Structure 1
Amino acid sequence: MGNLKIFADSTCDLPSDWIGKYDIGIIPLYVTFDQQTYKDGVDLDTPMLYQKVSETKKLPKTAAPSPADFIQAFTPAINEGKDILYISLSSELSSTYQNALIAATEFPEGQVRVFDSLNLSTGIGLQVMKAYRAAEAGKSIEEIMDLLHRTRPQVETEFVIDSLDYLYKGGRCSGMQNLVGSLLKIRPVIKVIDGKMTPAYKVRGSREKALHQMLDNALARIDDMDNDLIFVTHSLADEDADQLKSILQEKTGAREVAISKAGCVISSHCGAKTIGILYTKRTS
């Protein structure tokens, strides 16, 4: 790794043991219920989030780290003589990226690089791991940035939302849509396109049908898939995640299919039982 320290924020949803193993710096976003504010993954975990939603009957507000938060997080590494690469949550979804850019100006020019993932959850995590492995292989920061620019548009992020409840509570669908969707068992599928959460299609019927559709979509891209790393990311859907991992491992022959759990910020927008398959297509 040389003198490079890689940072991400709590929305990258990397497995906690990976964060320690690969020495990834994590900067938490904030989750606020009424007057009480928590740091995502530090003061509040996902089961606690759902308990509080159940108690309060409303969703929390989420907020980006401030420039001061970034400065505080970056300073120890800078004082150790390291350069920093921070890979952020999509600038289309949060001010996290902009606040990191502000913080970077407080350090000598070029010492802090900020890269907009234009993604969320392990769509960020995939890019973090690409950067880490390139740095471990001795690539320069310029080579790593070039790799990230080539990798970013190749990231495929697709999630099945189990219920419209959280989209309704978050103002992303109407009460009538929520009612009709619940009656007809409609499960929306969300993709990340150009850095934004975009409804891709809807599956009417059982949860299993929706999961099979998402799995089929991924397997249809096997020839284009970079099978170095595939993520199955979920919010309290352990059994489904295990099943998807097993099938993906068998069908793709990927070097690694990893399961990760969605943190509080991602879960607060999608709800329990949300599950996704995330991978990158091959770059030229």
Structure 2
Amino acid sequence: MTRIKIFADSTCDLPEDLIKQHHIGIIPLYVIFGEQSYKDGVDITTPQLYEKVEQLGSLPKTAAPSPADFMESFKPFIEQGQDILYISLSSELSSTYQNAQIAADEFPEGRVTVFDSLNLSTGIGLQVMKAVDAAEKGSTVSEIVELLHNVRPQVETEFVIDSLDYLYKGGRCSGMQNIVGSLLKIRPVIKVIDGKMTPAYKVRGKREKAIEQLLNNTLDKIDQMDGDTIFVTHSLADDDAANLQQILREKTGARRVITSNAGCVISSHCGEKTIGILFTKKVL
């Protein structure tokens, strides 16, 4: 057991085998349909989320863990003598970071450190894995935080949204935009910039064209990659993810190319068949 316990939240979208292998603590966000609240990945899965949206015709709300949730998760490890480093969902997207900081302040100074990933999904996961690797090699919390400050701006996060329906239901585009976009088969591409989801460009035409553009954007940056981990993260797009994984393994020479499933919180904002490629560039 390392002296440092690494925590993330359910939006990091790391595969279960990596979470178990490296003993990563996961704190779930909440998915709320009407009066019913579910813990992301604990009480509800992504397929179940889509079933409920189909039945109800509306999207759920999502909510951050409370400070009490964080305290309850952190306390046993503090009592065991471990220090905690929690890597959060972007503070630009959620109050998760702020609530974790409130919880951290309830413990003795220096025992709980909260780091803002300024990212989402496996854009967080990439930073978590850097932290885990460093902790297992004996780095201190302050050394890991310094590493993360250098890594964070080098994370590349880009997703293709397959349909405007979820952006429309979530109030992120107008009804007219949704109709026009559907008729023209426009697929927006989202990048994370300065911690925010930012529309980067739109691809008009078949889904395959949009995925090819996503792949080409990644391959254009091979020389900038750090060569460690590439994530292909998706919401119920297994075949496309497997295909991208194979190509990226052949073309990039990365140490590992991993497919991962988007959890309920990420999926509720982006929708079914969303797919992304995420990696880190070399630290300058």
TM-based fold match above 0.5: yes
Report the counterpart of residue 237 of structure 1 in structure 2: 237
* Partner amino acid, structure 2, of 1:241: A
Report the counterpart of residue 148 of structure 1 in structure 2: 148
Q: 2: distance between equivalents of 1:278 and 1:42? A: 25
Alignment partner of 1:72: what SS? helix
Report the counterpart of residue 2 of structure 1 in structure 2: 2
Shift of 1:227: 1.4
Q: 1: distance between equivalents of 2:275 and 2:194? A: 21
Report the counterpart of residue 20 of structure 1 in structure 2: 20
Alignment partner of 2:87: what SS? strand
Report the counterpart of residue 30 of structure 2 in structure 1: 30
Q: 1: distance between equivalents of 2:140 and 2:18? A: 23
Q: Structure 1, residues 109-162: CA drift from partner, whole Å, max 9, x if none?
A: 000000000000000000000000011111111110100000000000000000
2:61 equivalent to 1:61? yes
Alignment partner of 2:37: what SS? strand
Q: 2: distance between equivalents of 1:196 and 1:179? A: 26
Shift of 1:236: 0.1
Q: 2: distance between equivalents of 1:145 and 1:265? A: 26
2:75 equivalent to 1:75? yes
Report the counterpart of residue 260 of structure 1 in structure 2: 260
Alignment partner of 1:42: what SS? coil
* Partner amino acid, structure 2, of 1:49: L
Alignment partner of 1:192: what SS? strand
2:122 equivalent to 1:122? yes
The correspondence of residues 187-202 of structure 1 with structure 2, limited to 5 A, is 187-202=187-202
What number of residue pairs does the alignment pair up? 284
* Partner amino acid, structure 2, of 1:117: S
Shift of 1:2: 2.7
* Partner amino acid, structure 2, of 1:243: N
Shift of 1:22: 0.7
Report the counterpart of residue 272 of structure 1 in structure 2: 272
Report the counterpart of residue 249 of structure 2 in structure 1: 249
Runs of 4+ residues over 3 Å off in structure 1: none
Q: Percent identity?
A: 75
Q: 2: distance between equivalents of 1:22 and 1:140? A: 17
Q: 1: distance between equivalents of 2:268 and 2:224? A: 32
Q: 2: distance between equivalents of 1:26 and 1:41? A: 10
Shift of 1:14: 0.2
Give the aligned CA root-mean-square deviation in angstroms: 0.6
Uncovered stretches (5+) of structure 1, i.e. residues with no partner: none
Alignment partner of 2:152: what SS? helix
The correspondence of residues 80-159 of structure 1 with structure 2, limited to 5 A, is 80-159=80-159
